[in-house]
């Protein structure tokens, strides 16, 4: 089983103590967002968890407690964009603070295990293609030598964030302009020793040096674990998504980053209401089991199958 921690909220930033407590307890609960009376019990024992994929915009709390997750293989998706507080109101000090945290985390766990995300990319009168090129180049220069990969995507239009997108005057870039722009980002990344991958993009960008990526990536997990990974595509994600199957442990409407492009928060009121229920000791993130809930033990399936041989290891000239 691969754990996603989490697409729905920034657990390393705001709830890492809760997550570590759940690891000590050996399980957590996840409420089904499509049927909130259904609650799954997820086994968190090291024998059940093949790898953990963390998603964050600020890993400070996590970095102070890495010893608490040392029994688990893991890597970190670290989002760092060029936006100001008009778009990402809960973040601060990218250049002065967050970039140094990225570099420090890379020194602590290795550059292969820290992936830079410059996503989603949105265009409006302030955040023009030229602005993004300059912001991307500045961050890439600051992270050179501290990561091997950068993931990019373009903002998707969800009904629940349309009001925010309208207020920001977000516009789409025509395909005739989008591909050259993406190619320029790829060239910048290469100058700084990084490969570029896209996240859940329908448009093909291989011709400009960007391949379709897998944020939950079997190949990277094989490199980290030294084991063959047999995970299939995650059927719960969009068809364009290349991620391997995983178990998502987050809860919607709990992220306090407040990013206006985020599909995981429905409203400020919903976030305020749910985060007020945060309880370090609860098996559920920002909630509790209620009368009428049905708790079932989730069947866990390992996706690793023995050690890779020397010739199968990525970069050996074998399967890779």
Q: Which phi and psi angles does 150 have, rounded to 5°?
A: -130, 135
- pLDDT of 161: 83
User: pLDDT truncated to tens, each residue of the chain (320 aa)?
Assistant: 999 999 999 999 999 999 999 999 999 999 999 999 999 999 999 999 999 999 999 999 999 999 999 999 999 999 999 999 999 998 876 677 999 999 999 999 999 999 999 999 999 999 999 999 999 999 999 999 999 999 999 987 676 788 889 999 999 888 789 999 999 999 999 999 999 999 988 788 899 999 999 999 999 999 999 999 998 888 888 777 889 999 999 999 999 999 999 989 988 999 999 999 999 999 999 999 999 999 999 988 899 886 664 445 555 444 33
Handedness of CA 153, 156, 162, 168 (dihedral sign): positive
CA distances from 72 to 50, 53, 194, 265 (A): 8, 10, 26, 29
Burial label for 63, CB within 10 Å (0-12, 13-18, 19+), is middle
Q: Which residues contact 24 (CB under 8 A, 6 or more apart)?
A: none
Burial label for 242, CB within 10 Å (0-12, 13-18, 19+), is buried
- pLDDT of 94: 67
- pLDDT of 96: 76
- pLDDT of 74: 98
Provide the residue ranges of all domains of the chain, joining segments of one domain with +.
Answer: 2-307
Q: How far apart are CA 249 and CA 254, in angstroms?
A: 12
Gap between the terminal Cα atoms of the chain: 23
Burial label for 60, CB within 10 Å (0-12, 13-18, 19+), is middle
For residue 317, is it left (φ>0), alpha (ψ between -120 and 50) or beta?
left
Q: Within 13 Å and on the Cβ side, how many CA atoms surround 288?
A: 9
């Amino acid at each position: 089983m691969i754990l996603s921690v989490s697409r729905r909220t920034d657990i390393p930033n705001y709830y890492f103590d809760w997550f570590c407590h759940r690891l000590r307890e050996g399980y957590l609960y996840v409420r089904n967002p499509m049927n909130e009376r259904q609650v799954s019990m997820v086994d968190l024992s090291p024998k059940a968890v093949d790898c953990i994929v963390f998603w964050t915009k600020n890993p400070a709390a996590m970095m102070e407690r890495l010893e608490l997750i040392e029994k688990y293989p893991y890597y970190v998706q670290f989002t760092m964009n060029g936006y100001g507080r008009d778009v990402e109101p809960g973040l601060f000090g990218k250049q002065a603070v967050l970039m140094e945290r990225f570099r420090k985390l890379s020194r602590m766990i290795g550059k292969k295990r820290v992936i830079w995300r410059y996503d989603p990319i949105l265009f409006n009168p302030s955040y023009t293609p030229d602005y993004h090129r300059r912001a991307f180049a500045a961050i890439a220069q600051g992270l050179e030598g501290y990561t091997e990969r950068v993931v990019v995507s373009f903002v998707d239009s969800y009904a629940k964030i349309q009001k925010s997108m309208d207020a920001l005057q977000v516009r789409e870039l025509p395909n005739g302009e989008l591909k050259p722009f993406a190619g320029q980002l790829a060239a910048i990344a290469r100058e700084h020793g990084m490969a570029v991958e896209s996240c859940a993009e329908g448009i093909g960008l291989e011709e400009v040096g960007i391949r379709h990526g897998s944020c939950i990536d079997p190949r990277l997990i094989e490199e980290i674990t030294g084991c063959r990974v047999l995970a299939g595509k995650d059927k719960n994600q969009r068809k364009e998504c290349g991620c391997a199957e995983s178990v998502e442990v987050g809860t919607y409407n709990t992220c306090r980053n407040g990013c206006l492009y985020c599909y995981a928060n429905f409203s400020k009121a919903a976030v305020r209401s749910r985060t007020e229920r945060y309880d370090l000791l609860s098996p559920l993130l920002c909630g509790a089991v209620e009368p009428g809930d049905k708790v079932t033990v989730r069947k866990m399936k390992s996706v690793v199958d023995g050690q890779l041989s020397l010739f199968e290891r990525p970069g050996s000239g074998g399967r890779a």
